[in-house]
Structure 1
Amino acid sequence: MKNSIFKLVGVMCIAILPILLLLYSYKNQLEKKSYSFTRKIIYPLERMDRVKLDRESYYLAGVASEEIYLANNYNTGWMLSFDQNLKQKKIKLNLSKANLVKDKGQYRAHISDGRFYLYNGLGRSILSGTLEAWTAFNYPIFTPYFQDAVAMGAESIVFRYVNSRTGQNSILKTTYNDKLENINLLQKQVDGLYCTSGMLKYNKALNKLIYLYYYRNQILQIDTNLNLAAITNTIDPIDSVKFTSATIKSENKMVQTSPPILVNAHCATWGNYLYVHSKVMGRREDNRKFDNAAVIDVYDLKLGSYLHSFYLHNQNKTAISDLLVDGNVLYTISGQYLNKYTLER
């Protein structure tokens, strides 16, 4: 009897395998499809320097006083800092004062205006402290369950979270004394959740929030009162989300029923500029080159226009997982390496 069951399972696995391979191939073809737009590729950016990290779980937390800070997905209590020569220093965070450190969820670090922040959306927790003391305290503002957060000055945090009334993604700003929300900023196309997912950044030079959708070609510029200041389209033509979703009523849960096409993977903003790691291949671009590099599209936020693009070649056959810009320097993480590049203006 057991042998028959094993044989049946084996036959089913063999039968399903071609279907899975076909779906995977179809998804890849969708992602690699070229579209009718042409990039102005000015140069491949050459790496200026790099340093090997002790593991692959680091991400870029921010820059302060010409030092770049890295945090680790699996160790909230430690950070790394690197000077302009990529000389490393370990920093131990003092979490003893933060007596409400949550076990649920994961903290993600962010450096802004001489302070560090530890965000935990599932735990509804924000910890913060100065870069001089590195002692974390509970941040005394209202904190919802959230997916993304960014500090906007010393007294405001802005969240992307799911509004309990609409059941859709929304942008919420909280301060010590007040809350402000604009439920109309993120425009629903399919479900109001996956279709409005994106990256939330704060541009200090322009004093605006920047929101870049993952699955469509839109950049939102949002003022400090959460009013929509400008919309800029990325150069690709994907203006509508390419997936479908359905609701499992018994679980009151939304699920994707077709694979999404990722349009924008990462971004960084500095000065008037937005740097977008695009996953959409343009006309006459080489498929092999596209697979072995990250293409970065540069936009002037003040003018609302596309400027040019450049390639970042994969390091040790590993694609970038994060990027950050500070002046004329661009940093990336690829696998176990921190890479430093010089930007030409």
Structure 2
Amino acid sequence: MNKQIRPIITTYFIHSITYFLLLLFCYAALSKALDYEHFQIQLAQSPLLSAYAGLIAPTIIGLELIIVLLLCIPTFRIIGLYASFSLMIGFTVYIYMILYYSDFIPCSCGGILEKLSWTEHLVFNILVSICTLVAVILQVKRKSIPYIKFGIYTLLPSLSMVAILLMLFLTSEHLIATTHSFIRRFPPHPIQKDRVYKLPANSYYLAGSTQQSLYLGNTSTPLVLSQLDSSFTIMHSQLWHPDTLSLPFRSLRFQVQAPYVYSYDGTVPILFRGHLSDTTLHTLSYREAYFSQLAILDSIHFAVRTQHGTTQQYVLGTLHPKKDTPVKLYDHLLQKQVDGLFDSDGLLLSDPDLGQFLYRYHYRNPLLVMDANLHLLRTLHTIDTISQVQLSVHHFRDGRHQLKTPPLRVNQAAAVHKGILFNQSNLKGRYEDHSMWQRAFIIDCYRTDDQYYIGSFYLPNPDQLHLQQLIVADPYLYVLIGNQVFRYRLAPSIRQHFQQGKPKT
């Protein structure tokens, strides 16, 4: 090549790459800054950067603007090229780790590269990094910069960038899963809408499920149990017959725990049991324990939530029908913070596959995991930061309690299945789109064998109705909203956390 033409081509190449990088980083920084909230949300969904989104967002924008400034000034242009190469190496390594080492791949980034897939984005970054390195080498030759200095200025920042990314990769997942940073993660496509059935009234509730059917009770006709077939097209209703009808029933409800059907009313109090192949309900327990909630593991293990006869505070207890001491209360499980009643309100759940009971508070974040005899196994927490209830209670002289103001409700509906808690949260996490909360429910998923947050997903709520209940029966999630039952298929990313059954104690 002509010696006179070669310097021209070199200069032209260096200038072209410099201007390209200048435009690329300028556009990237400005687009992030102008839509800063959305940029933070994107970082919060990254499997590598979630826990550090608040710090990394302004850092990246600042670095890109500094590089733009360096590239604009001829004296510092070589430094700008060094910095551009190191930052592009960081972006390239980040995308590579997302593709090959992440548990899930988030949605592609926005801006000028919005239409590129992650793989295409990786190829783009590699090409830009190579071109930038060639421009640096040509500039080094032109300015006769020692190669030792060239090696230091390219290798050290690049290796530092890779080391930082590795540190973030190793620590971010742990922080999100085990601490209370309240940053939610939304794996792509965790559920898929499968079926919907419109009920004739809004007085139905979910009573249980099997592999073939979903069972529903009806508060208007408390002795009728309905069965919705697996195709979600045919609902069959059956009248059940208790062995006694002379009692003052007030809130008779069904629970299906195959192969049995249970019917109960804690205000009487009474507990019936029947078989799914029959329509007769036999008295299993009568006047042994008044209760406001009942959870069933099997035909001999029951847990109740009731009020202590002396303190009137909520307590948990076991119910063993027909035994000499059928009821045993454990008043140490629910911790009093204000009055022991409103502050201890929550939801009692059972996980028959693991032989465990759970109690999840409404107004604070602890989750109690107990064995079949209500021995506390562990206390976990939801990812929000509300460990202390935020409510004010007025105490009357006659012993009655009344809320002075509406309390901050942390949790709503919930279901547990094979060691995973599906919890409807009432609180918006950091970096979340406020508009989504107006048209969807948020469901957080947790493992119950350890303090581990799996991820979250949205349930559409276009009519802004109330979510009454959740039931999980692998591979489905059933949701009752208004007078409609929705069936969603759970993705493998959720189902892989289901645990195998353990011997019941």
- Normalising by structure 2, report the TM-score: 0.59
* Dislocated runs of 4+, deviation >6 Å: none
Q: Residue 80 in 1 paired to residue 220 in 2?
A: no
Question: Which of 290, 308, 314 pairs up with 1:145?
Answer: 290
Aligned equivalents of 1:74 and 1:123: distance in 2? 18
Give runs of aligned pairs for residues 168-247 of structure 1, distance below 5 A: 168-175=313-320, 176-177=322-323, 178=325, 179-247=327-395
Aligned to 1:337: 484
**Distance verdict in 2 for CA 1:102–1:115, change over 3 Å:** farther
Aligned to 1:62: 208
Q: Which amino acid aligns with 1:172?
A: G
Aligned equivalents of 2:358 and 2:474: distance in 1? 18
Report if aligned partners of 1:142, 1:174 keep a CA contact under 8 Å in 2. no
- Normalising by structure 1, report the TM-score: 0.85
Q: Determine what percentage of the aligned residue pairs are the same residue.
A: 27
**Aligned-partner SS, 1:194:** coil
**Distance verdict in 2 for CA 1:96–1:272, change over 3 Å:** closer
**Distance verdict in 2 for CA 1:92–1:101, change over 3 Å:** farther
Aligned equivalents of 2:416 and 2:382: distance in 1? 14
**Distance verdict in 2 for CA 1:56–1:315, change over 3 Å:** farther
The CA deviation at 1:88 is: 2.4
Q: Which amino acid aligns with 2:343?
A: C
Q: Which amino acid aligns with 2:221?
A: N
Aligned equivalents of 2:364 and 2:242: distance in 1? 43
**Aligned-partner SS, 1:173:** strand
Q: Which amino acid aligns with 2:380?
A: T
The CA deviation at 1:94 is: 2.8
The CA deviation at 1:65 is: 4.2
Aligned equivalents of 1:143 and 1:255: distance in 2? 28
Q: Which amino acid aligns with 2:291?
A: F
Aligned to 1:71: 217
Report if aligned partners of 2:242, 2:272 keep a CA contact under 8 Å in 1. no
Aligned to 1:164: 309
Report if aligned partners of 1:212, 1:220 keep a CA contact under 8 Å in 2. yes
Question: Which one has the bigger strand percentage?
Answer: 1
The CA deviation at 1:229 is: 0.5
Give runs of aligned pairs for residues 277-292 of structure 1, distance below 5 A: 277-292=424-439
Aligned equivalents of 1:82 and 1:315: distance in 2? 24
**Aligned length in residues:** 309
Aligned to 2:414: 267
**Aligned-partner SS, 1:288:** helix
Gaps of 5+ in 1: 1-34
Report if aligned partners of 2:270, 2:285 keep a CA contact under 8 Å in 1. no
Question: Which of 255, 260, 266 pairs up with 2:402?
Answer: 255
Question: Which of 196, 199, 209 pairs up with 1:50?
Answer: 196
The CA deviation at 1:39 is: 0.1
Aligned to 1:123: 268
Q: Which has the larger radius of gyration?
A: 2
Aligned to 1:296: 443
Question: Which one has the bigger helix percentage?
Answer: 2
Aligned equivalents of 2:218 and 2:240: distance in 1? 16
Deviations 1:301-322 (A, max 9, x none): 1233111000001154434221
Report if aligned partners of 1:97, 1:136 keep a CA contact under 8 Å in 2. yes
Aligned equivalents of 1:95 and 1:301: distance in 2? 37
Q: Which moved more, 1:240-249 or 1:312-321?
A: 312-321
Aligned equivalents of 2:439 and 2:284: distance in 1? 42
Report if aligned partners of 2:270, 2:286 keep a CA contact under 8 Å in 1. no
Aligned equivalents of 1:60 and 1:76: distance in 2? 13
Aligned equivalents of 2:479 and 2:449: distance in 1? 25
The CA deviation at 1:42 is: 1.6
Deviations 1:142-183 (A, max 9, x none): 532211011221123211000102321111112120332211
